[in-house]
């Protein structure tokens, strides 16, 4: 009897205590931006540790973009690579480069940015033992095969192609001619690193230090990062606001709801389900601009059914059976544009984008599609299975729509079905193990705005992202020629010739160019997305 | 009593080993997690091999499991792919989810049992019918609908609460998410209590208590309620584990960075260490909650004794 009374008393006490805390806890937290001039922005938990050469997705990239500046920077509007820390990059043969670093740059901890800051960082990024996932970016530099062999252990610690000449000069020797090399140096992997990165690595990871317009004030892994404007930043692109609070959201719908409720200032991933409401919710505070992303359907060329002369007609036929316009209009509300080549509009015509390069093969033409597929021997196995990962994005919606379009064109309800894979990791795994039997989703987000980046990694023999293992001697030869060209315009036109080889073989079916989209609160102005679909944070003004 | 507890604790060992082994195998069946780390491209083979070695993925599964279990007993739950130790993830995620669960359980106890007693004592009256209908609606509407609806109404339309919970996740911010999480169980608690009370109201000891002139309040709280609570306590006890593990939906809607969030991310990234670690702790919570429920029986009903 007695014990029961005690138990009940305890429960009551807990309830009272809880009610008290509840009353106390509610009031404190403020609105979207607590401090004046600081904006809050949606974020996702970076998948890998925040090291420049280890970050290959957009969430970690966002932070690196704010806290680092490299030798080059891609203009947020045009995408052109312009000199940032580089005073000059000289070469006479497109293979040996002499790089001079500008004077007067420091990291936000006061340390000077020197030639050594770059060389040490690149050596760290390339070295196999550091597990850096972007190591292959250093693959053009001589000695890469020694510090990062394809198998076995490394026989050198540093790249033999990198030499520090003096405080502000270093030389780079490549293992092949690559005229576009200086333009790749804006990629985050090529950022300089302070000595504290090497001496106190764990401390650096807990609070990364860079040379960009922002410094990290606090970082709670998995939930929030608070960045403040670095007043001592020497560059021309100083932050126009006092800081940025990045908040991790598990679900982009919740982030959007928070924006509507006035608790968040910037959402840079408007969920597909909200696109219909975005005009009425935000009015003019919504941007939708092209990004360097193209979605394609790739094919398994290791499967003989897809690697014969007839299959090329089938692929072209399939391309013509897809009503791209209708799908981008209805499913994506024009946040994607039907693709007519294999690059992206953000390159600009000078950079190699050529509208209509695909020609009639990318036009919707059901009758011709049906004829071509019949001539090519019909669909291999009688049915087309489009494999995709169902865990992120709106992949299921568009794959079903593509299949529907193909089925209608062929007049067969069972001609095409989607084949969902549960997780992205498993999807990549099945691709890596060559388990694909039909077309599969292939998305490509550019690393740097060069036509080379849209072609070589995807279609060159055994290239890093050539998932379908397509191989063509003509294509490889043209790409090699283009890379050896010292004249940019000539290089671009050689790459376009290579792209025509991709077209003639329909190595992959281009679907659509993806836009970046963002919505923002009334406090913000001058909001824009760069070609990598990342907000240009340093230019945002907060009122 | 002591021996009973020891026996129950010993029984937990095989359950614990079996549960972890099952989870470990299930996550492993999903395939090689390294492939998902390199974005839309194949990891270069050398780096992939190096990463596999670092995470111990190059060993056969049974070796991986033994190493993992060995480490778990020394308090090392491994490292997530982003370089954070899993124990660190747990130390941030579990307090949040425990707070959410406490809020939910308090709602179940306070609202659920009160409504159950009221309706049980007034069976057939309008109050009873009204509450019964309401619980029916709550049970049949999925949690995510309730959650999104409350978020939209309270958070956006009327602006009473913030639609998302801040990283601190104080008790005050967790009231609405806790209510959403508790809603379905709350309805069940109401119905269980109601039936139990209605049944026991007819029993001899209640009639005796009334006959000897005890005030009605004392009859209800001391005699009727105490005897009627046994099934309810069982339900709430097992529900604690279910609430902690099943908070994924609620946590996603309100952006709470708790256990559900870590599990969801762990599964998406096929992070064996995170998933197995969190599930292991959840299994332990479930087992302990069950044990406590069984011990509570003896408190509520002295006729039940454990030897």
Q: Tell me chain B's radius of gyration from C-alpha atoms.
A: 24
For residue A462, give both structure tokens.
Answer: 């055994």
Could you read off the pLDDT of A346-366 as tens digits, one per residue? Answer: 998 888 999 999 999 999 999
Kindly indicate whether the ipTM for this predicted assembly is greater than 0.85, answering yes or no. Answer: no
User: Do the chains contact at B164 and A151, CB–CB below 8 Å?
Assistant: no
DSSP state of A341: S
* pLDDT recorded at residue A300: 94
Over residues B88-105, the pLDDT tens digits come to 899 989 999 999 999 999
Please say if the pLDDT value at position A23 is more than 60.
Answer: no
Average pLDDT over every residue of A107-120: 94
The token duo for A239 is 């932050």
| Interchain proximity A24–B172, CB inside 8 Å | yes
What three-state secondary structure class fits A262? Answer: coil
Contact predicate A183/A351, CB 8 Å: no
Most confident of A16-25, A48-57, A336-345: A336-345
Which residues of chain B lie closer than 8 angstroms to A464, CB-CB? 41-42, 44
Output DSSP code: residue B224.
I
Enumerate domains of chain A plus CATH numbers.
Answer: 72-202 (3.90.76.10), 291-515 (3.10.105.10)
How far, in Å, CA of A402 to CA of A384, rounded? 11
- Hey, are the CB atoms on A254 and B103 less than 8 Å from each other? no
Task: Work out the burial of residue A173: count CB atoms within 10 Å of its CB; fewer than 13 is exposed, 13-18 middle, 19 or more buried.
Answer: middle
Q: For a pLDDT cut of 70, what percent of chain B falls above it?
A: 99
Q: pLDDT value at position A426? A: 84
What's residue A87's pLDDT?
Answer: 94
A25 and B46 within 8 Å at the Cβ level: the answer is no
The two beta strands, A243-248 and A38-43, are parallel
Strand partners, A421: A389
- With bands split at pLDDT 50, 70 and 90, how would you rate the model's confidence at B303? confident
Q: Residue A243's beta-bridge partner residues?
A: A38, A228
pLDDT of residue A34: 54
| Nearest in space to A319 (alpha carbons), one of A357, A370, A353 | A370
pLDDT single digits (tens) B240-273: 888 887 788 899 899 999 998 888 888 888 888 8
Residue at token pair 């950079």: A351
Task: Identify the pLDDT of residue A27.
Answer: 32
| Structure confidence at residue A365 (pLDDT) | 93
Q: Given a cut of 70, is residue A200 above it in pLDDT?
A: yes
Residue A210 C-alpha from the chain's centroid:
21
Helices (H), B30-158: 45-54, 61-73, 86-107, 114-121, 126-140, 143-150
Minimal Cβ distance to B270: which of A22, A136, A425: A425
| Residue B174: strand, helix, or coil | helix
CA atoms within 13 A on the CB side of A78: 8
Residue at token pair 């049906």: A370
pLDDT of residue A8: 39
Structure tokens at A118: 């770059």
Sheet strands (E) in A320-472 = 336-338, 384-389, 416-421, 440-445
Average pLDDT value for residue range A487-499: 92
Residues A61 and A291 sit within 8 Å (Cβ to Cβ): no
Q: B276: helix, coil or strand?
A: helix
Contact B247, B260 (CB under 8 A): yes
* H or E segment and range at residue A99: strand A96-101
DSSP 3-state percent helix, strand, coil across chain B (nearest 5): 75, 0, 20
Q: Is the pLDDT of residue A493 over 90?
A: yes
E strand residue ranges, chain B: none
Q: How confident is the model at residue A447 (pLDDT cuts 50, 70, 90)?
A: confident
DSSP codes of every residue in A7-59: HHHHHHHHHHHHHHHHHHHHSS---S-SSTTEEEEEE---SS-S-GGG--SHH
Report the mean per-residue pLDDT for chain B: 86
A32 pLDDT above the threshold of 70: no
Q: List Cβ<8 Å contacts ≥24 apart for A489-492.
A: A489/A350, A491/A179, A491/A180, A492/A350, A492/A351, A492/A352, A492/A451
Flag whether residue B170 sits within 8 Å of chain A, measured between CB atoms. yes
**Of B77, B33, B36, the residue nearest B52 (C-alpha):** B33
What's the pLDDT score for residue A159?
A: 94
Task: Give me A132's structure tokens.
Answer: 């850096």
How high is the pLDDT of residue A543? 87
**Cα–Cα dist B285/B12, whole Å:** 11
- Residue B110 with chain A: CB contacts under 8 Å: 15
E-state strands within B118-248? none
Given a cut of 60, whether residue A28 has pLDDT beyond it is no
Mutation for testing the B interface, residue in A24, A47, A188 having most B CBs under 10 Å:
A47
């Amino acid at each position: 009897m007695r014990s029961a009374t005690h138990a009940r008393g305890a429960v009551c006490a807990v309830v009272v205590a809880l009610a008290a805390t509840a009353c106390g806890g509610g009031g404190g937290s403020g609105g979207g931006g607590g401090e004046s001039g600081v904006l809050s922005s949606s974020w996702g938990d970076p998948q890998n540790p925040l090291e420049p050469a280890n970050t290959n997705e957009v969430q970690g990239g966002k932070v690196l973009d704010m806290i680092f500046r490299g030798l080059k920077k891609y203009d947020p509007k045009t995408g052109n690579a312009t000199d940032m820390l580089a005073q000059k990059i000289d070469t006479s043969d497109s293979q040996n480069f002499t790089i001079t670093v500008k004077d007067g740059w420091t990291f936000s901890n006061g340390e000077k940015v020197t030639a050594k800051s770059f060389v040490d960082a690149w050596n760290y990024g390339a070295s196999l033992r550091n597990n850096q996932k972007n190591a292959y970016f250093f693959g053009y530099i001589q000695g890469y095969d020694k510090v990062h062999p394809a198998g076995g252990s490394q026989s050198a610690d540093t790249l033999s192609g990198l030499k520090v000449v003096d405080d502000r000069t270093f030389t780079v020797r490549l293992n092949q001619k690559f005229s576009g090399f200086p333009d790749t140096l804006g990629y985050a992997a090529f950022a300089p690193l302070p000595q504290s990165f090497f001496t106190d690595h764990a401390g650096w990871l807990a609070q990364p230090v860079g040379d960009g317009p922002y410094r990290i004030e606090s970082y709670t892994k998995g939930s929030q990062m608070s960045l403040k404007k670095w007043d001592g930043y020497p560059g021309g692109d100083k932050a126009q606001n006092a800081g940025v609070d990045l908040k991790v959201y598990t679900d982009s719908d919740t982030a959007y709801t928070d924006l509507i409720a006035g608790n968040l200032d910037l959402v840079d991933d408007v969920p597909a389900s909200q696109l219909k409401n975005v005009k009425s919710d935000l009015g003019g505070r919504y941007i939708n601009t092209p990004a360097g992303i193209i979605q394609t359907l790739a094919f398994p060329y290791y499967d003989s059914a897809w690697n014969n002369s007839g299959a090329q007609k089938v692929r072209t036929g399939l391309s013509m059976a897809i009503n791209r316009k209708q799908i981008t209009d209805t499913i994506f509300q024009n946040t994607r544009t039907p693709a007519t080549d294999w690059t992206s509009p953000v390159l600009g015509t000078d950079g190699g984008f050529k509208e209509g390069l695909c020609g009639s093969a990318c036009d919707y033409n059901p009758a011709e599609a049906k004829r071509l597929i019949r001539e090519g021997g019909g669909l291999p196995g009688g049915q087309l299975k489009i494999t995709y990962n169902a865990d992120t994005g709106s992949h299921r919606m568009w794959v079903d729509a593509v299949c529907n379009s193909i089925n209608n064109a062929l007049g067969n309800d069972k001609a095409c079905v989607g084949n969902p894979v549960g997780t992205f990791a498993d999807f990549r795994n099945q691709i890596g193990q060559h388990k694909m039997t039909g077309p599969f989703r292939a998305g490509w987000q550019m690393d740097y705005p060069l036509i080379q980046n849209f072609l070589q990694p995807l279609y060159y023999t055994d290239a890093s992202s050539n998932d379908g293992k397509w191989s063509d001697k003509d294509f490889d030869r043209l790409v090699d020629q283009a890379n050896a060209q010292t004249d940019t315009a000539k290089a671009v036109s050689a790459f376009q010739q290579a792209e025509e080889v991709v077209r003639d073989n329909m190595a992959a079916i281009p679907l659509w160019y993806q836009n970046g989209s963002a919505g923002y609160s009334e406090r913000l102005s001058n909001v824009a997305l760069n070609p990598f679909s990342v907000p240009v944070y340093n230019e945002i003004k907060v009122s | 009593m002591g021996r009973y507890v020891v026996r129950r604790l010993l029984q937990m060992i095989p359950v614990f080993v079996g549960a972890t082994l099952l989870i470990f195998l299930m996550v492993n069946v999903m395939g090689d997690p390294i492939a998902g780390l390199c974005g839309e491209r194949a990891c270069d083979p050398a780096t992939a091999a190096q990463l596999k070695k670092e995470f111990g993925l190059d060993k056969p599964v049974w070796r991986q499991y033994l190493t993992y279990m060995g480490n778990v007993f020394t308090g090392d739950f491994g490292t997530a792919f982003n370089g954070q130790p899993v124990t660190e993830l747990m130390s941030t995620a579990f307090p949040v989810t425990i707070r959410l669960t406490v809020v939910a359980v308090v709602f179940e106890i306070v609202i659920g049992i009160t409504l159950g007693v009221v309706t049980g004592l007034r069976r057939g009256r309008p109050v009873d019918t009204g509450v019964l209908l309401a619980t029916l609606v709550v049970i049949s509407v999925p949690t995510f609908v309730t959650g999104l609806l409350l978020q939209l109404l309270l958070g956006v339309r009327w602006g009473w609460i913030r639609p998302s919970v801040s990283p601190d996740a104080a008790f005050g911010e967790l009231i609405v998410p806790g209510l959403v999480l508790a809603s379905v169980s709350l309805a069940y608690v109401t119905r269980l209590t109601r039936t139990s009370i209605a049944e026991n109201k007819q029993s001899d000891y209640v009639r005796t208590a009334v006959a000897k002139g005890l005030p009605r309040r004392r009859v209800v709280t001391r005699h009727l309620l105490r005897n009627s609570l046994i099934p309810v306590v069982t339900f709430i006890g097992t529900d604690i584990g279910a609430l902690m593990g099943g908070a994924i939906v609620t946590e996603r809607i309100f952006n709470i960075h708790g256990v559900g969030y870590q599990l969801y991310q762990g599964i998406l990234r096929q992070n064996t260490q995170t998933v197995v670690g969190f599930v292991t702790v959840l299994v332990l919570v479930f087992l302990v909650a069950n044990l406590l429920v069984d011990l509570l029986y003896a408190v509520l009903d002295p006729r039940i004794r454990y030897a």
